[in-house]
Amino acid sequence: MKAANNTTTTITLDGITFSIKQSDDPEILEQIKALDDKYIGIHYALTMEQLIAIAHKDGLLVALHQNKLAGYSLILFEPIDKQHSFASDEALLYGTTVKKEFRHIGLGSALAGLQEIKAKNKGIKKLRLTVRPENAAAVLMRLKNNFQINGFDSNYFGDESPRFVMEKNIVESLEKPAKPVNHRASLVLTPDHKPSQTTLTMLAMAFSVGMKVYAYYPESDQAIRLLLG
């Protein structure tokens, strides 16, 4: 798969064909805004001005099925808000959403994967994103795509809502994350279940004292287990 300006990548997942490309078509942007408002904007709103700015800065990929929006992915190569700060060789994944009828077939991973290729081509070394701990589906998708949970912030966007900070080094590296030998606590996150306040407090404490967090996902129950050590 290869993504570049004006390039359309065609992929078939589970027998359904999608065209993935960059777009600044106002009609498509309206559909993206509506989808974003529904799933992500309720937690951290994206304005149409920001969306247009991202599209014009190479940061938007859309997936179309029969010329209709099936999903999209946003990446920032430079901050669009004073709350973002990242180095020039880093990029911030700013949300990937797939319409319900096209989930679980790999489209979210494909969109994010194409953003990663684009970032690599621009010389980016590290991808970062933030995600709410209750969004275990998104955390699972990122873990499967080799992101690590490297931080936890109880008030990342100043909205009193905690976020995991997940990162992926996209330059080749032989370094593997260390598994804590004697972990002190173990927590489980499950898709569609809001983590308890105790879980969130334990996570905040673990990260604040510099504990290592090792995450993995047993295939059997699709849950994420976090070992704090």
Cα R_g (the chain), whole angstroms: 18
Stretch that binds ligand COA, among 84-92, 114-122, 132-140, 207-215 (CB under 6 A): 132-140
Window 207-226: residues binding ligand COA (CB under 6 A): 222
Our CB check for ligand COA shows the closer of 102 and 211 to be: 102
> Smallest Cα–Cα separation from 99: which of 107, 110, 91?
107
Stretch that binds ligand COA, among 25-33, 51-59, 101-109, 117-125 (CB under 6 A): 101-109
Our CB check for ligand COA shows the closer of 56 and 144 to be: 144
> Smallest Cα–Cα separation from 169: which of 114, 216, 117, 127?
127
> Smallest Cα–Cα separation from 224: which of 170, 115, 147?
147
In DSSP terms, 13 is beta-bridged to 16
Query: Angle of helix 107-121 relative to helix 136-144, nearest 10 degrees?
Result: 50
146 binding ligand COA? (CB under 6 A): no
105 binding ligand COA? (CB under 6 A): yes
Separation of first and last alpha carbons in the chain: 38
114 binding ligand COA? (CB under 6 A): no
Least spacing, CB of residue 223 vs ligand COA, in Å: 9
Residue with the shortest CB distance to ligand COA:
108
The neighbour count for residue 123, using CB atoms within 10 Å, is 9
**Which two structure tokens, joined as six digits, stand for 50?**
């920001």
The neighbour count for residue 41, using CB atoms within 10 Å, is 15
Stretch that binds ligand COA, among 1-9, 95-103, 162-170, 193-201 (CB under 6 A): 95-103
**Which two structure tokens, joined as six digits, stand for 9?**
């990548």
191 binding ligand COA? (CB under 6 A): yes
Which one of 54, 76, 124, 140 is in contact with ligand COA (CB under 6 A)? 140
Footprint of ligand COA (CB under 6 A): 39-40, 95-98, 103-109, 131, 135, 137-138, 140-141, 144, 191, 222
